[in-house]
């Protein structure tokens, strides 16, 4: 079985500042992918960033970057220059090659951006 844990139910950040959301996971598979999804109040789940476990280089998408620590099974998301539109629920998710093609999600972190 695979698990994903997000230990921060809520976070807040000042506009233009940087915030880091934490995620830890557990899987027995060696080949897997990690994702961060964003779910704004409209509730459409949007992909933010993806990391392949076989890649050592941390993924980056514009203002979003990850810190992938494979040995520690940690996958944090850093949002730089936070904007009001970044306010949303953020979910960390894992899919393993050896399991069914299902995403396992964490419980989410509600991010508030303060003007």
Partner 1 sequence: DTGVSQNPRHKITKRGQNVTFRCDPISEHNRLYWYRQTLGQGPEFLTYFQNEAQLEKSRLLSDRFSAERPKGSFSTLEIQRTEQGDSAMYLCASSSRDRRTDTQYFGPGTRLTVL
- Residue ranges in contact with partner 1 by CB under 8 A: 4, 33, 35, 37, 42-47, 50, 52, 91, 93, 95, 97, 100-108
List the beta bridge partners of residue 5: 24
Per the CB < 8 A criterion, the answer to whether 107 and 6 are in contact is: yes
SS3 84: helix
**Distance between start and end Cα atoms, the chain:** 41
C-beta of 9 vs 16, nearer to partner 1:
9
Q: Of 57 and 71, which has the nearer Cβ to partner 1?
A: 57
Nearer to partner 1, 50 or 70 (CB): 50
């Amino acid at each position: 079985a695979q698990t994903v844990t997000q230990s921060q139910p809520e976070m807040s950040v000042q506009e233009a500042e940087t915030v880091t959301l934490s995620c830890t996971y557990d899987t027995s598979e060696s080949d897997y992918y990690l994702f961060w999804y964003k779910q704004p109040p409209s509730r459409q789940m949007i992909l933010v960033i993806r990391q392949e476990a076989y890649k050592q280089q941390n993924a980056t998408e514009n203002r979003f970057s990850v810190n992938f620590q494979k040995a520690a099974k940690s996958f944090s998301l850093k949002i730089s220059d936070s904007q009001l539109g970044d306010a949303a629920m953020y979910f960390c998710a894992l899919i393993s090659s050896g399991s069914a093609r299902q995403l396992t999600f964490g419980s989410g972190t509600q991010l508030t951006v303060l003007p």
